[in-house]
Chain A
Amino acid sequence: MTPRWIWRVLAAPPLVWLTLFFLVATYAIVSVGMGNVTTLFEPVPHWNPLDWNVGYLGQAIKDVIPGGTTWPVAVRTVAYVAVAMALSLVIGYPVAYYAARYAGRSRGIVLLLLVLPFWISYIMRMFAWTNLLAADGYASKALNGLGIDTLMNKLGVMNGNDWLGGQSVTVVLALVYGYLPFFILPLYASLDRLDHRLIEASRDLGASPFQSFWRTVLPLSKSGILAGMVLIALPMFGDYFTQDLMSGSPDTSMIGNTINGYVQGGSEKSLGAALTMLLSVFLLVFMLGYLRSMRAEQREARA
């Protein structure tokens, strides 16, 4: 048997690296968020928990509760992410399902094309859309020609006919476009592992195709769906560059923009750090909720 010490020796340098550049970095957010800011607007981190200043955390909390300055941004972010997740599910599930069950001979190509967006930089994919949605771009002309812009105006998610002019619909669709591949692949992996025989059995027992899907396939794929949704919700909440590229208007700003504004462009990095802490806690709660439902489902599956 290989002695055990060699594994720890191997694992030590990377663990030290991760501790230094990940754990300490995360702690830096806390210590700056719980620190002070000088009159010249530099942050003074308080590394010692006994020295912590809850002022900026308190200010950040005051800002994100209803009535605060960042409340509208928080609400808007949750709304965008929720709609984007719903759209991703509606578009992504059929695609993953098809790839997993029916692709047959073209499975290789379909997979290749589904995996391709991973290798294209996110920024480049958004950039491609700025080309197309410019006032004289192909997509703009097509959409406006078909009257989609008036439809969106009527629905209240768009104002005017400039798709890149501060429109909620553009930002949400861009989020969907950007993160869908990250949703489809794990869903595909999970659907791929579905036991076909269960579906066959349900059909043999007399279920119509729709019933078979609704009552057999969908419940079995719940864990895959949940996994995919959590997977795309996490980065979406921290996204700021999508709305910067596709809109640039304060009307569509997300919580990521607020944090980015405070930390990179502003005078109160501590407030930005405190907001980051709040965002992380929120996402943690989100993940816990997902885990709880996973556990419940596993218990059910075992029963």
Chain B
Amino acid sequence: MNGPSENEPEAARDTDVTPASSGLSRRGLLKRAGGLALLGTGAAALAGCEDTTTPVAAYGAAGGGGRGILGDPTAGGPVDASGIPLARRDYPVTLPKLGTPVKAGKPESGGELLIYNYADYLNPAVLKEFGRQNNVSVRVTTFETLDEAFSKLSTGGLKFDVIFSTPDQLSRLVGRRLVQPLNYDLIPNLAANVWPEAAEPFYDVGPRYSVPYTVYTTGIGWRNDIVSYDPAKMNPVWDAMWAATQYHGKVQLLNDQREAIGMGLMHGGSDDLNTEKPTLIDGSVASLKELNRTVGVKVQISAYESLPAGRIVLGQVWSGDMLNAVISYLPKGTSADVISYAYQEVGGPVFNDIMTVASAATKPVLAHKFLNFMLDKKVALENFTGFVGYQPPINGIDAALLLDQGLIPKGLQTALVTREAYANGNAYLTLTTAGQRLWDDGWVRFQAG
């Protein structure tokens, strides 16, 4: 909006009714707005108001002092934002039962089953099959990062039936009442097919709220026909990222706060992936910033598509990404042998993703049926080798079977997860509120460039 003469050129030419004469002027507008703003800050200052950035207790319940909304004083140990104790391998946690599991009954049908998941993380053919069998259409809404997912879910405006997530997010999903306890009678495949370590995990004793989806490690994936050195020979393997200076702009850093800062920690020699020490976190962020300066990373999770295409030549990836790349995204004429994967066998992250049912699900029984369907051996194998590339923790699906039947290339055997590795691996787990903020702040600082 310019002065009166600029506003409506046609109008100005024809008549004398200009915006200024009708009581409007940009000056007046701004004067009022400015006046209001000054008034506001003045009032605030005078009122001598609160000045804090410490989170307050949710739901107005008594909190603080690490007690959170459930005020769980269990063992006096550290609790997360919901008051649920932090689950660790040596400290299994039973999640509080908030809500009642759905009763067994006829699965709902017709309409849509709504799923909230990462992109390209479910085989469309598998979804179509489920839809066909149950007379529903399955619709997936995608998120890019878990932070974004939790942020959107916690606004309460989104309606889903099935939510995919990770164990470290589970307790805040529970605390925020976003997921419902499961009726495991409706999911018999869990006990029948799944590895016991995954079926009855330490982060969800019972289990009560989750079933495992896939297992994976995090490591370095690269194009062995382009990269001149061999990351598999480096120790720790993460040094390969900092060594990639000649591939500026073609290196991926996972767009995941825990994974990225965790990699910085491991590169610095630490193996505590759930540290809450500010010095360690700051050190990790500093080395990530230096990485970005010298190597120019792309912060994303889509290397499964860009590595085979050559737009990324090396990156921090999840093991399943490499298999996904080979299964779905290899351009014609490129052999699967050009893709390699290596991970840190001692102390490197090995963990799983989970499936849960949303508390606001409109089709809870069908959602349970879907979870059961995904844990069926044939379906899981089809999901894995037909599209997703991430291995399910199902009995019988192991390296022997896969290599035997030629379902995965020999060169990518490192991308498979064994039961021992899973049972003893390091993992990203829930943090206390203060710890989570340290990681959040560090990530924001890194992303500011």
Residues of A within 8 A of B (CB): 30, 34, 36-42, 44, 49-56, 58-59, 69-70, 72-73, 76, 135, 159-160, 162, 165-166, 186, 189-190, 192-193, 223-224, 226-227, 248-253, 257-258, 261-262, 264-269, 271, 281, 284, 287-288, 291, 294-295, 298
Contacts and interface: CB of A to CB of B under 8 A. Distances in A.
A262 B441 CA distance: 11
Given A37-B56, A186-B6, A58 B51 contact: yes
A250 B446 contact: yes
Nearest to A70: B448
A59 B53 contact: yes
Give the top 7 A-B pairs by smallest Cβ distance, nearest first: A165-B249, A227-B2, A38-B58, A53-B50, A39-B81, A265-B148, A250-B449
B3 A251 contact: no
Interface residues of B, number: 65
Given A224-B2, A250-B299, A265-B145, A39 B47 contact: no
Nearest to B151: A265
B44 A267 contact: no
19 contacts: A38-B55, A39-B69, A40-B81, A41-B55, A41-B150, A52-B44, A58-B53, A135-B311, A160-B296, A186-B2, A193-B5, A223-B5, A227-B6, A253-B448, A257-B447, A262-B444, A264-B152, A288-B30, A298-B3
B34 to A, nearest CB: 6
B141 interface: no
B157 interface: no
Contacts of A284: 30, 33-34, 37
Given A36-B55, A266-B440, A284-B37, A160 B311 contact: no
Contact of A252 (B34, B81, B449): B449
B51 A54 contact: yes
Contact of B47 (A49, A69, A73): A49
A37 B55 CA distance: 5
A246 B249 CA distance: 13
Most chain B CB neighbours (cut-off 10 Å) among A165, A224, A257, A281: A165
Contacts of B292: 249-251
Contacts of B33: 284
B43 A49 contact: yes
B299 A249 contact: yes
Contacts of B6: 186, 189-190, 223-224, 227
Nearest to A295: B27
B37 A253 contact: no
Nearest to A71: B448
Contacts, number: 184
A56 B52 CA distance: 7
A248 B37 CA distance: 34
Given A49-B43, A70-B448, A159-B249, 16 more contacts: A34-B44, A37-B55, A38-B56, A38-B58, A44-B56, A51-B49, A52-B50, A54-B45, A54-B49, A55-B50, A72-B449, A76-B449, A223-B5, A265-B147, A267-B440, A268-B440
Interface in B69-93: 69, 81-82
Contact of A73 (B53, B55, B250, B448): B448
B300 A248 contact: yes
Interface string B28-39: 001001100100
A69 B249 contact: no
B395 interface: no
Nearest to B288: A250
A39 B58 contact: yes
B248 interface: yes
B148 to A, nearest CB: 4
Contacts of B406: none
A294 B441 CA distance: 43
Contact of A40 (B2, B44, B47, B58): B58
A226 B296 CA distance: 37
A283 B19 CA distance: 23
A166 B296 contact: yes
B57 interface: yes
B142 interface: no
Contacts of B437: 267
A160 B447 CA distance: 21
B44 A266 contact: no
B176 interface: yes
B267 interface: no
A196 B441 CA distance: 59
B68 interface: yes
A55 B27 CA distance: 32
B411 interface: no
A193 B9 contact: yes
Interface string B291-320: 010001111100000000011000000000
A81 B323 CA distance: 43
B56 A55 contact: no
A228 to B, nearest CB: 9
A30 B47 CA distance: 16
B81 A41 contact: yes
A166 B51 contact: no
